[in-house]
A and B are shown apart, each in its own frame.
Chain A
Amino acid sequence: MPTLQLAEITHANRPAQLPLLSKLADILATSPAVTHLMVRGSLAHGTADRLSDVDFVVGVHDAQLPSFVEALDALMSIEAGALLPGWRDTIVADLGGLGMVFLVPDDGRLHQIDLYLAPASRIPRLRETVSTAVILDRTPTPAATPDIAVAESFAAAFIARPRTCTELLIEHLVLAVLLHKRIKRGQRFVAYSEWHRLHTATKDLIKTALAPASQFWGWYQLREEIAVTPIGRACLGDLDAAISGPAIPEGTDVNAAIERVLALVERACPQALDGLHDAITAYRTYQELV
């Protein structure tokens, strides 16, 4: 049988995200606080398409988890060029750590970067339950009990902290990127789920801005609490418009939702846009909204 020279074609068909994955891995691995780097999702399993996200599990020394999380937004902005502060991932399963999602421009378009930060002490159990490709393994000596407690209490407090208007705005922007991906792939059920999450984020944004001390759960008593001023009525009008759309959106519906939310933020909590104007302009450019 002749020897086929497939290296060139293999290289040409490698996932488009591979250079970005490699760059991010280099950035993260620079710190000795990082004990493990694992790739999960489609890039780990060879099923990636050009829309696939880059999904890392990052093991961090238990005692250093708080300072690592504190530095992460600045690190991702400075070293990776992330457009916005990370979104605290509320979709990812609880594996003993915390998830952050960043939007990083690369090669002219936005990429979704998922980072799941796990205390090193949780990594062995995590590896038993989640399929990953390990690209860095600096297994440390077992963490001391107080260090484990530091990481656990930090992660629990981080997840439990109420979201600010800025964080909820960023949640909309990230979910819109996810939704465009689902629509292009024809993933109708996931699109339905994320579309509902986006509307829920709009509701949460309105409540955070206009009824921060609300005693009511979820979607209850919105009219009684919020539709008592012109701003409140206008915001609930926006929410009504959002939920009156199709159950599964088209791309134009997602874009309209983002523009509606940006107008809502300007009206109800303009301080949430502080420092984000250029990022939102860039977001619109990368998403071809302008």
Chain B
Amino acid sequence: MDSTLTALAGQIAQLDAVDSAQLERMRHEALTTQAPWKAEYGAYQSGGWWTTSLMNASGDAADVTIGDCAARPTGLLGQMPATAAFLADLGLNFMWVRLARLEGNAFLWEHRDYDELDQVERHRLHIPLHTNSSAFLVTSGTKVHMAGGRIWRLTPTYAHGVCNLLGPARIHLIADVYADDAYRRLARRPALHPAVAEPLPAASQTVLAERLETARNMATLGYTEAAERMLLRLFYTYALPEGTAYDLIAELHTSLGNMEAATRWDTAKRRLLALTA
């Protein structure tokens, strides 16, 4: 494994395979069970991100604000026997288990997760149940499509973003787990197959200038938010230095004479990328 891939595997790794027949049963449950999906809106996403809990502190599927707890099954998991059996077989110490739905044309913009201050070791596992090739994660200028059939571990300390460009909706089973022997057995051989990591092309100054001009045209027509989103989406198309998309938006507003908006986006960049300076 080359050094780039090794570094990337520290961020996102494939663990054990999931039995295909069991995966199909879980997918059927996720697509057909009536669940109380809760929308989460935040500065770092476009909308279209929904979650519902299968294991949590309260046992209420609509309770989706995760935190440390000894998780117990929700009523929803009771209606999903194949998923419940899968989780039981893993034998992990669950903190929280959710279904997460990312709709088509939905984005979690480039951001860095804050490292929690407590010392408890936990890990986030993703089990893709229903996905498509236009749904992927980008980190370090590399695109990773989390294909079905594997348990994936995400440890995103680098700036990263997630998108589902074209749909249909992507549904992942997400389990936050505490480290224990069962977890260490599961994570004994983390790997990242080179075929799943696709480096994005670099963007030349000419390309960025063209995209900025297109954004300026859109903003001049009155489509300012669309222009901003067009620039944010460049993160999913090109390998850009960290924060470039936010810088381009600030540059767009500066060129239009809107210094308040330029400052707002500069502040957003610092917050979303957890920059201290």
Q: How many A-B residue pairs have CB under 8 A?
A: 68
Is the Cβ of A67 less than 8 Å from the Cβ of B167?
A: no
| B226 partner, pick from A68, A78, A108, A282, beta carbons under 8 A | A78
Is the Cβ of A81 less than 8 Å from the Cβ of B166?
A: yes
Is the Cβ of A81 less than 8 Å from the Cβ of B105?
A: yes
List the one stretch of A30-38, A45-53, A181-189, A203-211 in contact with chain B: A30-38
Residue of A nearest to B228 (CB): A78
Is the Cβ of A279 less than 8 Å from the Cβ of B217?
A: no
**B64 → chain A, closest Cβ, in Å?**
23
Cβ of B233 < 8 Å from any Cβ of A?
yes
Cβ of B58 < 8 Å from any Cβ of A?
no
**A129 → chain B, closest Cβ, in Å?**
28
With contacts A74-B214, A78-B229, A78-B233 known, is A68 near B221, CB below 8 A?
yes
Cβ of B156 < 8 Å from any Cβ of A?
no
For B168, B217, B223, the residue with the greatest tally of chain A CB atoms inside 10 Å of its CB is B223
**B217 → chain A, closest Cβ, in Å?**
5
Complex Cα gap A279–B134 (Å): 8
Complex Cα gap A30–B229 (Å): 15
**A64 → chain B, closest Cβ, in Å?**
7
Is the Cβ of B218 less than 8 Å from the Cβ of A74?
A: yes
Is the Cβ of A81 less than 8 Å from the Cβ of B233?
A: no
Is the Cβ of B217 less than 8 Å from the Cβ of A70?
A: yes
Residue tally, chain B, CB below 8 Å to A: 20
Residues of A within 8 A of B134 (CB): 278-279, 281-282
Residues of A within 8 A of B220 (CB): 67
Complex Cα gap A289–B116 (Å): 45
Residue of B nearest to A83 (CB): B166
At the interface, is chain B mostly helix, strand, loop or mixed? loop
Is the Cβ of A105 less than 8 Å from the Cβ of B214?
A: no
At the interface, is chain A mostly helix, strand, loop or mixed? helix
Interface residues on A, range: 20 to 34
Complex Cα gap A105–B169 (Å): 11
Complex Cα gap A31–B132 (Å): 33
Is the Cβ of A278 less than 8 Å from the Cβ of B165?
A: yes
| A279 partner, pick from B166, B221, B230, B233, beta carbons under 8 A | B166
Is the Cβ of B132 less than 8 Å from the Cβ of A285?
A: yes
Residues of A within 8 A of B223 (CB): 30-31, 71, 75, 79
The interface bits of chain A over 50-72 (1 if a CB of B lies within 8 angstroms of the residue's CB, else 0) are 00000000000000100110110
Cβ of A286 < 8 Å from any Cβ of B?
yes
Interface residues of B in 147-192 (CB under 8 A from A): 165-168
With contacts A67-B217, A285-B132 known, is A74 near B230, CB below 8 A?
yes
Is the Cβ of B133 less than 8 Å from the Cβ of A31?
A: no
Is the Cβ of A278 less than 8 Å from the Cβ of B133?
A: yes
Residues of B within 8 A of A78 (CB): 105, 226, 229-230, 233
Complex Cα gap A229–B102 (Å): 47
Complex Cα gap A105–B134 (Å): 14
Interface residues of A in 224-242 (CB under 8 A from B): none
Cβ of B222 < 8 Å from any Cβ of A?
yes
Q: List 7 A-B contacts (CB under 8 A).
A: A71-B214, A74-B214, A74-B226, A78-B230, A79-B223, A105-B166, A282-B167
* Chain B residues within CB distance 8 Å of chain A: 104-105, 132-134, 165-168, 214, 217-218, 220-223, 226, 229-230, 233
- A71-B217, A282-B168 known; 17 other A-B pairs, CB under 8 Å? A32-B222, A67-B221, A75-B223, A75-B226, A78-B105, A79-B226, A81-B166, A81-B167, A105-B104, A105-B105, A105-B167, A277-B133, A278-B134, A278-B166, A279-B134, A282-B104, A282-B166
